[in-house]
Structures are given as structure tokens and as C-alpha cells.
Chains A and B, each alone.
Chain A
Amino acid sequence: METITPNYQISYQNLILNIELSGDWLIDSQYPDDFDEVLESQFKQYADIKKVTMSMIQVTQWNSALLTSILTLKQYCLDYHIPLNTEQLPSEMIRLLDLSSKVPRHDVDDHIPKNTSFLHNVGMNTLSSIHDIGEVLAFLSNAVAAFFSMLRGKATYRSSDTWLVMQQTGAEAVPIVSLLNFLVGAILGYIGAMQLEKFGAEIFIGDMVGVAMTREIAAIITAIIMAGRSGAAFAAQLGTMKVNEEIDALRSMGISPMEFLVLPRMIGMMLMMPLLAIYANFMGIFGGALVAYGMLNISLEQYLNVVIKSVGLNDVAAGVFMSTIFGIIVAVVGCQKGLSCGKSAEAVGISTTSAVVTSTVIIFVCAAILTVVYGALGI
């Protein structure tokens, strides 16, 4: 069935504004969008209107779009204190118009979107960041308290959860940790080889790769992998539990989410991160060995001799300590973001992103601080 183009005619006679509509006023038809503006202009043009009448006899079909225009007309009539004659409107339309004004408007000043200035946004974001740091620190103190209750045997948690976390964050992360640390070791060796070749000091490639990987690089790369992999998973898991009211259910049973959910994840990460970092050291050194052999013709034996001579136990200990701290950061930030998540699908996404970004930033800040501290202590 073909639609008839909607049309309107407005006339002004004997102080009465007559509006006549015709055609199909439907979603598929060409709705005259200037209709509301034209109506408004009539009220401005004729200041002495005494009455408004509307006729829809020639309207064949209509829907909600037309109702919005009639509501606009009703509002103009109210504003200008002019009676609107709706007798010629279809009875269903009058019912629908009445239904829409049955419930009075809710007062919502605080929910109307406001345009804010750039400076205002910068200020609000800064305050929000400070607030976030405070929340992470408060969460950390609670996590430490839960850890000590566990040491005293008073924490409510399942050791099987810790084993599961260790499997998920440790064993299952081995392939990606292997690949990335091997590549980083190889890249480090390749760049080092190009520079050392200039001075005839090729043999020191083992020294460079070994010390860099064991002291810092392996710990940092592994921590970043863990932040993207396990930290994001923690935030998403706990965030979804929050949305499903599972966290509230735990609280209502008198079980602390901090002990039941955070503790296994924190312990699992604390134990797995150093092991992964030690493993990552070997992978990085192996990557460097491959470059040394391929580019500089240094045998594996020569390379390993240099590595063993240059890398001390203090270097390994420094890296292991750093990775333990990183493990705690990833677990605490991931869990904190998950538990402070809002109650919607979008909020889970925001928490997950925030967990990865926040832990990555904190990892680099901590790495810088620890490097300076190690230097000052002569480690």
C-alpha cells in the first residue's frame, strides 16, 4: 500500500488558528520536520489568537511522531493561555495524549547533562586519580591485614583456590612468558651486538644480556604480561561477581571477600611471579645466546662463561624481589578494581581496563624507585 505524503494547512480567521492535517503521518513517510517550528511562528505572528482548532479528518494513518507535534502544540497553547479544541481529534489519540501526562514530571535537576569546561574536567580527573590512589592504598592495607590473619590461621579462605590461581597465573602463563622474554633477550642481544662490535667487545654481550635480564627486564616484562593477562582476569571475574551480587552474598554469609577472594589471588601471584621471573631470566639469556652465536660467532660455552662470571646472586635476588613486589601489585590492583566495579556490563569493562593501566603504571614507577634504591645500597 502506498503512503500519502503528510501535509498541513494553517489558516487564521476571526482570531481562530485552524490547523488541518492530511495524509499518512507515519515513520516510513516524509515527516515534515518544520511543522513544530511553523506552529511556534504562528503564535509569535498572531498575538491575539483566542482559540486553536485542529482537524485530522483527512489524516489516513498516524503514529507517535504526530503525537509529539500535538504535544508541542498543547504546550504552546498552555504557554500563551489559549484554549486548544481537541474535539476533532480521534478518541485513541486523546487517550494517548492523556496517558502521557498522567504521571507528573519527576524533578531531575541533577541528571540534566551539563557542559563542563576543560579546566573543570582536568581538576575533576586529578581529584579522581588521587581518590583512586587512596583507595588502592586502603585496599592494600586491608589485604596485608588479611594476609596476617591467614598466617595466624584465622582467615576464611580455601587453599584449593590458591592452587587454582597458581595454575592459572603460573603454569598456564609459561608459553607467553617464554616467547616474550626470549624475544626481548634476543632484541637486547641484537642491539648490544651492533654496538659492541664497534669496540671489539663482542664477548661482553653475555654480560649485558645476563645482567639486564636478571636484575630488571625479565621481572618487568613478566609483570606486564601478568597485568594484561591475570590482573585483567581478576578484575573481570570479581567485577562480574559484583554485578551478579555474589560479593554481597558472601558478605551476607559473614565471609570477608578480602580473605575469600583476594587472598588466594594475592598469594598465588606472590608465589608464581618470582618463579616465572627466574624462568624468564633463562629464556632471555637463551635469546641473547642465539644472537651471539648467529651474529658474533660466540659459542654457547663462551657465552655462558661470561654470563656466569657477570651475573651474581645479588642480581638474581634483586630481580626476584622486584618480581614479588610486582606480583602483589598486579593482584591487589586487579582485585581492587574488580571489587570497586559498578553494577553494569560497561563498568566491568572499565574496571578491567583500569586494572591493566593502573598496574602497568605502578609497576614502572616501582621499578624506577627500586633501581635507585638498589644503586644506593650497592646491590
Chain B
Amino acid sequence: MSNKLTTSSFSIKECHSDNAIVVDHLTLTYDEQIIQKDLNFTVKHNDIFIIMGNSGSGKSTLMRAMIGLDRPSHGDIYYRCNNEYNGYWQSSKAVQLRMMQQYGVMFQSSALFSSMTLLDNVSLRLIETTQYSVSRIRKIAYYKLALVGLKGFEHYFPAEISGGMQKRVAIARAMAMDPPILYFDEPSAGLDPLSSKLLDDLLLELRDSMGITMVIVTHELDSIFSIANDAIFLDQGQKTIIAKGNPNAMLLDDSHPQVQAFLRRDNAVLSEKVKQ
């Protein structure tokens, strides 16, 4: 797969059944200032797709547009809904709500409801949006928490568990409705390397066993190289995607110094230490 920018070859024709998400000519602004422009990419089913870039490049802003929180100034995001693709921002509220059932979101701060137990956090969306009986919802929530290794913590409150455990609860909550797509904003932020590795393993296991498509905003190199199938690199200077494709392939392509500096930064630190 090419890791070069090929915007000219992109069109809405990318909406074929292999693709879970199609991002079409997206421009993101903040207070009339352009953050990113003309973003075009597709996310394939069952892929772990990484959005990377330096701090302030607009990674989280892009994710917020993709999950329907912030309206882009131009372009749209297409989700497959009832065998056809619909642009999120041009759809009616009812269709948007149906599209929202397609994905779950894990926020950087976990964003757990502090006044609710872990069980209630996971159950909330099921209670509000499905017809399941309360006992079935309880069982699903118990199961989701067990899936992320938190069996027995159901009646704890978020403040009573560690940051790593909160991340896992946030994943369980995002998976509550069995969505085919999961979004993660900096899932490893604030975690030690071992917890970060365990989280990556969990994501791989969930992808393989449940067939979930994952979109992850991160700049953790270990995660990028160990779990990603596909990625884009957002550049702050050019305000657009300057590289796309498999991160390991990006590593071999030296046409973008910014991407190389980003992906090889750990090696640079190591080399410096060896020299000393």
C-alpha cells in the first residue's frame, strides 16, 4: 500500500463494502482558523487504524468530527448504515442517531460518570437505547466488565479504581452496544509501559474475536508499530495528511522528514544515549 498522499485519486466511489468509514474532503476549523484541510482516507473493516501526528496537529479534532461532536467546515464522514453509505453531517438527526449505534467512543480522560458504579456506567446506553430487560442488561454489563478483566469490580465507583482500570471500563462502556467500530482517543495516555502493552493486547484480542474496526488517536510508537494495520500522519505545518499506509511501510519511506522524525524519535534518543 502506498504511503503517499493521493488525494486526486480519491472520490466518494471509495464507498464500497470493504470500507467501514470513508472520510471525504474534510476541512476542520477552529474559530475560522484552519486546523486540517482536504482530508481524504478510508478505514477498512477489521482494521486498526491509527491517526498520528505531533501535538496540536488536530488529531483529536479530527476524531471529534468523525464521532459527530464537532461539525467540520467542509466535507463529510460516511458510515455504512443499512447497506448504504450516509454522510454523517448531511443526514437528518434520526439517521445520525442510527449511525451513532455503529460506534463506541473511549475518551482520553476515560470520561466515566463519577456518580455511577462501573456497572451503571456500562449499562447506561443499553438501558436508554435498547428494549432489553433490566436483568439482561445487567448480565451484558457484567460480561463486558469481565471481558476487560474487571470481574468483581462492578460495584466500585470510578474514583476507587486506578487510571489503567478506568481506561478498561471506558472500553467496556464503548463496547456495550456491540458496535462494529470503536474510537479511542489516546488510550495509552498516562499508563505505564506494561499497562499500555496489556491494553494493546486487549485491543488486538477484541479486534480478532469480535471483528471490531478500531480508529485510534495516539502518538505511542509501541502501540503504533504493534497493533496498527493502517495509519495517517497529520502535519501541523501543511495542515493536511502527508503520509498514509502501514506504519512499518512509512518507516521505510524517507520522503517526509517530519514523519521520519516522529516515527524514529525513540531511536534518536537511544542513539544519543549510546554516544554519551
Which residues of A are interface residues toward B (Cβ below 8 A)?
A: 1, 27, 30-31, 33, 36, 63-65, 67-69, 71-72, 92, 95-96, 99-108, 111-113, 342-347
The CA-CA distance from A347 to B160 in the complex, in Å, is 14
Most-contacted residue by chain B among A27, A67, A69, A101 (CB, 10 A): A27
29 A-B pairs with C-beta separation under 8 A: A1-B83, A27-B177, A33-B133, A33-B135, A33-B136, A63-B178, A64-B143, A64-B175, A65-B136, A65-B140, A67-B143, A95-B205, A96-B209, A100-B143, A100-B147, A101-B146, A103-B151, A104-B151, A105-B151, A105-B152, A106-B150, A106-B152, A108-B152, A111-B156, A342-B159, A343-B159, A344-B158, A344-B159, A346-B115
CA distance A101 to B143 in the complex (A): 9
A31 in contact with B115 given A99-B205, A103-B149 (CB within 8 Å)? no
Residues of B within 8 A of A113 (CB): 155
Contact yes or no, A68 B208, CB < 8 A: no
Q: Tell me if B153 is interfacial: C-beta within 8 Å of chain A.
A: yes
Q: Are B135 and A99 in contact (CB under 8 A)?
A: no
B132 contacts chain A at the CB level, 8 A cutoff: yes
Q: How far is the CA of A68 from the CA of B142 in the complex (A)?
A: 9
> Is B59 located at the chain interface by the 8 A CB criterion?
no
Whether A106 and B151, one on each chain, are in contact in the complex, defined by CB atoms closer than 8 angstroms, is yes
Chain A hits for B133, CB < 8 A: 33
Chain B residues in the interface with A (C-beta under 8 A): 82-83, 114-115, 130-133, 135-136, 139-140, 142-144, 146-147, 149-160, 175, 177-178, 205, 208-211
B151, B156, B160 interface centre (most CB from chain A within 10 Å) = B151
The answer to whether B155 and A108 have CB atoms under 8 Å apart is yes
Closest residue of chain A to B208 (Cβ to Cβ) is: A95
Known pairs A68-B140, A96-B147; list 6 more (Cβ under 8 Å).
A30-B131, A65-B132, A100-B147, A108-B156, A343-B159, A347-B114
User: A1: which B residues are within 8 A, CB to CB?
Assistant: 82-83
Q: Determine the residue in chain B with the shortest Cβ distance to A111.
A: B155
Please measure, in the bound complex, the distance between the C-alpha atom of A101 and the C-alpha atom of B135, giving whole angstroms: 20
Contact, CB under 8 Å: A102 / B136: no
Contact of A345 with B114 in the complex, beta carbons under 8 Å: yes
- Would A27 and B130 be within 8 Å (CB), given that A100-B143, A103-B151, A344-B159 are in contact? yes
Please name all residues of chain B whose beta carbon is closer than 8 Å to the beta carbon of A63 when the two chains form the complex: 178
Contacts of B158 in A (CB 8 A): 344
Hey, which chain A residues are within 8 Å of B151, CB to CB?
Answer: 100-101, 103-106
In angstroms, Cα B209 to Cα A71, docked, is: 16
Q: Cβ of A107 and Cβ of B152 under 8 Å apart? A: yes
Query: Which of A30, A99, A102, A104 has the most chain B CB atoms inside 10 A of its CB?
Result: A99
